[in-house]
Structure 1
């Protein structure tokens, strides 16, 4: 029968738990809270009449937030970029709306909407990036 041995250090097991909290639970919590808040913002924007405006604004704002998050500490990047902006942006709704416009043969409106979303989203991300301070330093 093996003899019982004392741990090398009395708090040795605590270090593993602390690392699990820091590297797993805190980022997961940041994503969860960020996604909750981003989802609320998305829901609020979805209440704007006309549909397309709310989706465009949600994707534009999410792009700005992602650009801004690049200048922050990693934990804030996870909270804002992954959680908040991830829940706020709505590319699936964009695809549904574009599909509906194509189905209605509203070609011009679909094209303008797609290009506006892409250009404004990229511009918003770049604006956020510049505003973050990272873009200004390069």
Structure 2
């Protein structure tokens, strides 16, 4: 792993983290996390599809590992699901968990149609 690779991932992560922060502030409870994870899945779907047309390794590191990795927030998802379950909102937790999985899969699939 080169210094250039680390810097590309770090730069992407800085922007992805800021994006995640703002989505959490702009959208109502739970929707910021859902939006961040769905957008990250869509972007990774594009990157994965675009790699077949020779996307540069630097772009993959910057946008995929860095930006998408920092934008997606599975730890926050786990915290939110745990809180919903702890407070007895089991049906809401189930809907939220299923929506996250389904939207993530649909995002990747729809992104793959772009390429």
**TM-score surpassing 0.5?**
yes
Aligned residues: 110
Shift of 1:130: 2.2
Shift of 1:75: 1.6
Structure whose CA Rg is larger: 1
User: Where in structure 2 are there 5+ consecutive unaligned residues?
Assistant: none
RMSD of aligned residue pairs (Cα, Å): 1.2
User: Where in structure 1 are there 5+ consecutive unaligned residues?
Assistant: 1-22, 134-138
Deviations 1:53-85 (A, max 9, x none): 000000000001111112132221111110000
| Structure 1 position 109 matched with structure 2 position 92 | yes
TM-score when normalising by structure 2: 0.90
Q: Say which of 21, 45, 51 aligns to 1:43.
A: 21
Shift of 1:121: 0.5
Matched position secondary structure for 1:50: coil
TM-score when normalising by structure 1: 0.75
* Structure 1 equivalent of residue 43 of structure 2: 65
Return the structure number with greater relative CO, CA threshold 8 A, min gap 6: 2
Change (3 A) 1:30 1:128: same
* Structure 2 equivalent of residue 74 of structure 1: 57
